[in-house]
Structure 1
Amino acid sequence: MKKLLFTLLALAPLALFAQTNTWKLDGTHSAVKFDVTHLVISSVEGRFNKFDGTLISAKPDFTDAQIAVSVDVNSVNTDDEKRDGHLKSADFFDAAKYPSMTFKSTSFKKVSGNKYVLEGDLTIKGVTKKAKFDVTYGGSVKDPWGNNRAGFKATTTINRFDYDLKWSAATETGGMVVDKIVNVTLTLEFVQGK
């Protein structure tokens, strides 16, 4: 019994100092995309070309992960300069006043297998609301240059009106030109720091 107690006491400090790993988002192998219904009959897709993020975790299954992502609103791209300009205006993102939107996780829970739920605070245009993403963990691998990489795909829907992105116009039949519900897809590849 004394030997067991001694072993537990000897190992306790190691548990307190479990190695925490910081992973950096690889922007060239990641994407921040959205799509929204247009005129009730089709959808418009877009993306943000500039973003950054980190993942901090000590567990190999990432269930203790702390995730933070920042997106440059001025990098919005829908393949139409006029529309992109409108999205940057005060009608939508007001990029001059709010140049970035951010997400900071509060929990990352494993549901089953490679399925997770990510929850946290999403801030757009100075408004912060709780957001929940369904996440598929693609796995981890060592690349040819010796870097550890982990991949995730996260999806959610948000109501743009909740974030003061309230521009709206009606069609002849009373439908909205741009729907208030926006689908968001994040394809994220993280590289472990050395």
Structure 2
Amino acid sequence: MAKHRAPEGAATDFDAATSALADVTGKYSVDVAHTRIGVRARHAMVTTVRGSFTEFAGTAYLNAADPAASSVELRIATASVDTGVPDRDAHLRSADFLDVERFPEITFRSTDVEQVDVEVYQVTGDLTIKGVTRPVSIDFTLTGSALDPFGNLRVGFEGALAIKRSEWDLTWNTVLDTGGVLVSDRVQVEFDVSAIKVS
């Protein structure tokens, strides 16, 4: 992924004023340093465990005049899962869950983009986890667009996706003595995306 440096004499304060842009059409690259892909699931039926993937890459083509002509592609390194607890992360990387040795990436490739509100776009595509590919739809909200102090045109999106992990062969679990299971089947994936226009 290309590095974006401030031109000589440019402001370095990201709090400097930026201006919203009317037309954001173009090809974009996800800015990993300012993007978060989070996950959360219920644990032992009583609390929520949160984590994130820290290594990923993504591209998008945005067409403001014809949203259906837009497209998105995302690749996530499964070994980068991080919940803040090393033992738990090691278990998530094992064959019980993500099996990172055999399946090093989670991928998403869009098949359709539809504008459903002024700033909301429904992105439908193929999500592949552990070699299983299934269609999903994610509603993304355009949170802003601006020319940053380094001269980069940026756009921001937020979205969330709820999946049943068992549908992607993520079936490991333990039954609790008090009823229920240790890990919920439902997993929430959260996207806070900043992308930079590259052409």
State the TM-score, normalized to the length of structure 1.
0.86
Quote the offset at 1:21 in angstroms. Answer: 2.2
The match for 1:39 is 44
The match for 2:133 is 128
Identity rate, percent: 35
Q: Following the alignment from structure 2 to structure 1, what is the Cα–Cα distance between the partners of residues 29 and 128? A: 21
The match for 2:19 is none
2:77 to 48, 60, 72: 72
Q: Following the alignment from structure 2 to structure 1, what is the Cα–Cα distance between the partners of residues 54 and 190? A: 13
Q: Secondary structure at 1:173's aligned position in 2?
A: coil
State the TM-score, normalized to the length of structure 2.
0.84
Structure with a larger share of its residues in helix: 1
What are the Cα deviations for residues 46-103 of structure 1, in whole angstroms up to 9, with x where unaligned? 1000000000133357453100000000000000000000000000000000000000
The match for 2:87 is 82
Q: Following the alignment from structure 2 to structure 1, what is the Cα–Cα distance between the partners of residues 68 and 154? A: 16
Q: Following the alignment from structure 1 to structure 2, what is the Cα–Cα distance between the partners of residues 102 and 59? A: 25
Quote the offset at 1:192 in angstroms. Answer: 0.3
Larger radius of gyration: 1
What are the Cα deviations for residues 17-44 of structure 1, in whole angstroms up to 9, with x where unaligned? xxx7210000001011010011111110
1:155 to 141, 157, 160: 160
Q: Secondary structure at 2:179's aligned position in 1?
A: coil
Q: Secondary structure at 1:112's aligned position in 2?
A: coil
Gapped runs of 5+ residues in structure 2? 1-24
The match for 2:54 is 49
What are the Cα deviations for residues 105-164 of structure 1, in whole angstroms up to 9, with x where unaligned? 111211112122111000000000011112111121111111111100111100000011
Paired AA for residue 98 in structure 1: F
2:102 to 90, 97, 103: 97
